[in-house]
Amino acid sequence: MGDPSGYDPKAFRDLEQEGWGEVSDTYHDTFGNLTGQTVNALVDAAGIGVEGLLLDLACGTGRAAMRATQSGAGVVGLDFVATMVAEARHNAPGAAFCIGDAQHLPFASSCFGGVISNFGVRHFPVPQLALTEICRVLKEGGQFAITDWISPGALGPLVREAVAEHGARDAFKPPPGPEADFSDPASCRELLTAGGFIGIESREVAVTGRWPSPEGILATIYTGMVNSRASLEVQPPEHRIRVERAIVEKARRFEEDGEIRIPSKALLTTARKPAQ
């Protein structure tokens, strides 16, 4: 029997894997400049000392792993996109990386002192499976730290507004994602508690996107934002042109001192594995 919501985990995973593979060589220096702004707080929240071992899930191009190795921790990064892992190995040579599935971790139980995921949990097809696996590989008392965009995020609203106003009504829509919401403290607490965690706390972290011109936002969308890019690429040419123009015009309202500055917030949530 299928999911009554219409959600298909395999279709979602396939879309994510293909999309992130296509932007793996550009993400680090485009949208990665936004997600990278939470890395210091995220790594610090994991509380790993110089003798600890940290797992970075959905490690992407290795920005968080790079920061963690600078703190002296041993770091293992895992991502399901091979080309992302290749970029991470280049960017963070002090860490070890592997290709794998967060929902079926290839590690022994109780082997990591901490686990982090920087905006990664929203990309797990069945987040509940990943949370159970994360709890399994953590040592007792080990800390899990994640970030996610607090709705509506940084650039997503500009894209959604422009598509709603100028996009083709019958354009193909990508498969929906899982209903799990890690952008809200109450929802995070519920999900993490169900995953076996205790001591759950959330706080906000400020993030500001900066571009020298509003047109630069289009480059960021096409080179670092998989779902937003997909919503533009499915538009017929005449609609896509209008949508792109609308995004640029909407971005102009954020102009300040000769550049575009779009403020946003991320939710940083920590939890720990209880003692048995």
Percent residues over pLDDT 90 in the chain: 83
Structure tokens at 20: 């992130």
**pTM (two decimals):** 0.93
Neighbours of 271 (CB within 10 A): 28
pLDDT tens readout for residues 41-69: 999 999 887 678 999 999 999 999 999 99
Band of pLDDT at residue 7, cut at 50, 70 and 90: confident
What's the pLDDT score for residue 99? 98
- Could you give the domains of the chain? 9-153+175-206+265-272 (3.40.50.150)
Structure tokens at 42: 């995220």
pLDDT tens readout for residues 180-233: 899 999 999 999 999 999 999 999 999 999 999 999 999 999 999 998 998 899
pLDDT tens readout for residues 10-25: 999 998 999 999 999 9
What are the residue ranges of helices labelled H in 150-236? 156-166, 185-194, 215-224, 226-233
- Does position 105 have pLDDT exceeding 70, yes or no? yes
> What does DSSP assign to residue 213?
S
Question: What's the mean per-residue pLDDT of the chain?
Answer: 92
User: Would you say how long the chain is, in residues?
Assistant: 276
Would strands 259-272 and 198-211 be described as parallel, antiparallel, or unpaired? antiparallel
- DSSP per residue over 17-47, as a string? HHHHHHHTTTGGGTTHHHHGGGHHHHHHHHT
